Amino acid sequence: MNRTYLTSTELASAIARGVRQLVFIGNQNNPELNLASTAEGSLQLFTVNEQTAVDSTATFVPTEFRSEELASALSRSSFDKLKASLFIWLGDASYRTVDAALATLSFIASLPEGTGVIFDYAAEHNSAGSFAGTALDALASRISCAGVVKHMIQPQALAAMLRSLGFGQITDHIDELSPQGGHIVTACI
């Protein structure tokens, strides 16, 4: 799946379901930020990043990802936790720890119905058979919810974790631009 097309489709769907805030997390040097300009009149835009935003109409929300949660950073801005929002969290995964990722996804899941997220991740692949793989996915899911899983996760375990947080509509796509077979997930409350 082409990430720009997927993001454009998800943005249109989010606007149709009443989303009025769009939050870019991290990497602001991506084409997805340009997509927002087409919907600028109907969306309040935010960029949460460690580096100052350049030539952007989005409200810049500075943070230090390794030491501050997304909820805390957004609380210093005009972000409204009572409005459905779309979060775009693509690229530059170097700052993502397991705890930070879980805290970010938990915060997003706590927002109003219609809220969604688009993010990418590296999938763990095992050589076990399908039954064993499913059992390992379930175990990884339980460990993931406890905050122990390291940097890669199996798609089934990620979906189970997202469902446990409250996401109901989850779609996992193979990222055509990733040479390592990365994935892009769209999930909605």
In the predicted structure, residue 37 carries a pLDDT above the cut 90: no
CATH fit for domain 3-188, picks 3.40.50.150, 3.40.50.10800, 3.30.750.80, 3.90.850.10:
3.40.50.150
Cβ atoms 108, 87 nearer than 8 A: yes
Q: Please report the pLDDT score of residue 130 as a whole number.
A: 52
> Burial of 113 by CB count in 10 Å (0-12 exposed, 13-18 middle, 19+ buried)?
exposed
Q: Please report the pLDDT score of residue 149 as a whole number.
A: 35
Structure tokens at 160: 């189970």
- Percent of the chain clearing pLDDT 70 (strictly above): 69
pLDDT per position as a tens digit, 69-83: 999 999 999 999 999
pLDDT per position as a tens digit, 119-174: 988 776 554 455 544 554 554 444 444 443 344 678 898 999 999 999 999 999 98
What is the C-alpha separation between 39 and 149, in angstroms, rounded?
37
Reported pTM: 0.81
DSSP, collapsed to helix, strand or coil, labels residue 153 as strand
For the four alpha carbons of 103, 106, 112 and 113, in that order, the dihedral sign comes to: positive
The domain segmentation of the chain, as residue ranges, is 3-188
| 75-104 residues labelled b (16+ CB within 10 A) or e (exposed) | eeeebeeeebbbbbbbbbbebbebebbbbb
